[in-house]
Amino acid sequence: MTLRPRVLIVDDDPANRHLLEQMLGDEYEILLAGDGEQALELCLREAPDLLLLDIEMPGLDGLQTCRRLKANPATASIPVIFVTSHDSPASEAAGLAAGAIDFIRKPIRYEAVRARVARHLQLKAQADRLRAMAYEDALTGVLNRRYFDQLLHFEGRVARRTCQPLSLVLIDIDRFKSCNDLHGHTYGDHCLRAVAAALGAALRRPQDLLARYGGEEFACLLPGTARDEALRTAEYLRREVEAAAIAHPHTPAQVLTVSLGVATLVPGERDTIEALVEKADWRLYEAKSLGRNRVCG
């Protein structure tokens, strides 16, 4: 079954939300939000393909909502069409400066809405294909190192601004070189894909991010996660990889296992992102030194 594109309609007026839903609901999956904060939450959780965003809203207005979407690498690629009764050049300039790609004028006309939404979803699909080539690791399908580093620094700034913890888990496949040496690089590639799949399936929150960090090493970023919870998550990841039973006869468990190092950026402390990575790397080294197939943090 082909998945329908997701369109998020954001308007504080229920009548306007209902009208747009009636216009588009036969062709697209519709998500609804009544304010900017709810829209930001839905964008992170549901990853819509397009936003129809009212400018005039109480609290976080459309311009502020758009700026925050574009400031976050996880949501910056979602195109925003402003739905507005304003038609002055200054209003249009402000919307474009905030990151919008188009405007739909009120009163809303059926043909204009359908045509603009279809066109921008087509452009979004093309951009997504190019972005996947730039941001995804070609072998495993998870994020690549370059994009992960961007997200890591962004989440570090968010953690400091919101006084929330940020945890990093570095993951290394145990005895991977011997796996390659004994079974060949084709089987080694299969193992990398299988480990990435097990790790990705084990992550339960949409804001948690997994990347191939280099070679046989992966990284997992856990925003808003304190040390104890990060250690529990890392242990769950370790168990899930072991339970995947990826054959590797030359290990004690006869299956592929991983070692994990955990570090946390604590609110109020002055540690840098670089220090966070160094701590996680040291904890990973400790896990390997203590016998592998374990979590240290």
Cβ atoms of 280 and 261 within 8 Å: the answer is: yes
Query: What type of residue is 170?
Result: L
**Catalytic-residue membership of 235:** no
192 has a pLDDT exceeding 90: yes
* The residue to which tokens 């856990």 are assigned: 222
Mean pLDDT throughout 231-252? 88
Cβ atoms of 216 and 172 within 8 Å: the answer is: yes
Which residues have C-beta within 8 Å of that of residue 96, sequence separation ≥ 6? Answer: none
- Domains of the chain with bracketed CATH: 6-135 (3.40.50.2300), 145-296 (3.30.70.270)
pLDDT tens for 34-55 read 999 999 999 988 889 999 999 8
Strand 258-265 with 166-173, pairing = antiparallel
CA–CA gap between residue 219 and residue 248 (Å, rounded)? 22
Mean pLDDT throughout 253-259? 87
pLDDT tens for 13-34 read 999 999 999 999 999 999 999 9
Give the pLDDT of residue 168: 97
Q: Which two tokens stand for residue 230?
A: 């990060």
Cβ atoms of 56 and 95 within 8 Å: the answer is: no
User: Cα 140 to chain center, whole Å?
Assistant: 16
Say if residue 43 is exposed, middle or buried (CB neighbours under 10 Å; 0-12, 13-18, 19+): buried
pTM for this model (two decimals): 0.66
Structure-model confidence comparison of residues 58 and 88, the more confident one: 58
Spot the catalytic one: 155, 216, 217, 240.
216
Q: What is the 3-state secondary structure (H, E, C) of the chain?
A: CCCCCEEEEECCCHHHHHHHHHHHCCCCEEEEECCHHHHHHHHHHHCCCEEEEECCCCCCCHHHHHHHHHHCCCCCCCCEEEEECCCCHHHHHHHHHHCCCEEEECCCCHHHHHHHHHHHHHHHHHHHHHHHHHHECCCCCCECHHHHHHHHHHHHHHHHHHCCCEEEEEEEECCHHHHHHHHCHHHHHHHHHHHHHHHHHHCCCCCCEEEEEECCEEEEEEECCCHHHHHHHHHHHHHHHHHCCCECCCCCCCECCEEEEEEEECCCCCCCHHHHHHHHHHHHHHHHHCCCCCEEC
Scored b (16 or more CB within 10 A) or e, 153-173 reads ebbbeebbeeebbbbbbbbbb
* The residue to which tokens 């949409």 are assigned: 206
CA–CA gap between residue 295 and residue 248 (Å, rounded)? 20
Cβ atoms of 265 and 276 within 8 Å: the answer is: yes
pLDDT tens for 112-154 read 899 999 999 999 888 887 777 788 898 999 999 988 998 899 8
Which residues have C-beta within 8 Å of that of residue 160, sequence separation ≥ 6? Answer: 267
1 has a pLDDT exceeding 50: no
Percent of the chain with pLDDT over 70: 98
